[in-house]
Structure 1
Amino acid sequence: MKLVVRCLPSERRRGSITAEVIVAAIMLSSVALVLTPALRSVIDHRQVARFETLALVELNNLATQIHSNSSLELSLSDWFQQRYPGARLTVTPDVASDNILAGTRLQIARTDRPGRPDVIRSLVVWSAREGGEP
């Protein structure tokens, strides 16, 4: 014959589960409050890095257009303008001296958010100066 002994707690646990749930909720909310700004800054940084990469690709495409036809009016591609509607293209010719090569600075700038500095990417394209010696 086996004897089965059951151990019953002498006191019932009243309210301890509720207290544990409240403490867990407080801890989770404090972790969420700390991590939310960090995750937002990581996302913002990745968006800026993506813009910089795509801006350099766009600048290289414009540089190719300059080399193929220097009299062409330069503008951002439709795809780039749709993706970044606030982006601005600035074309500044080099008025420097006696160089055989003429430089043209292409610059794409975009205001990421109000209160933050503009995100700017630029590229200098060198081509043979008109009327210069080859």
Structure 2
Amino acid sequence: MTTMLNAVPREILDAAIEFFRIQGLQGSSNRRRVMGGVSTMEAQQLVGEWLDTRDGEGDKINVYRSGEQWVLETWSEDGCHSRDLMQVTETVDGLKLEDRGGNLFGEYFLLRDDQLHLCTESGCQALQSA
């Protein structure tokens, strides 16, 4: 017995292609916005590299600074990547780095004595240097 697959109607195929084209454009424009464009990337200074090993996670976290702008970059073991602009506040405990877009879990980072800490409502945990 042979099975024949129905061809996808051309309208659906065209709509899908357009959807993914738009998504790709939005993604690339967001990357350019967050990264500050290629020319300013070269001016960013690497502040440090750390590993987030909570709960078996293996995320690598890089923090960059360019003037007053701070960027936190995360690389997950599964290949996912993010670059987030950070709001930096000077505190008695160190520099508090919070995602400008907010954090649903109330997490933030604290940079103290060249060591990055991940902080939650239950306290802060030092991340391992990479």
Give the shorter-chain TM-score range.
Answer: under 0.3
Larger fraction in helix: 1
Greater RCO between the two (CA within 8 Å, min separation 6)?
1
Larger fraction in strand: 2
TM-score normalised by structure 1 residue count: 0.27
Q: Give the greater-gyration-radius structure (CA).
A: 1
TM-score normalised by structure 2 residue count: 0.28
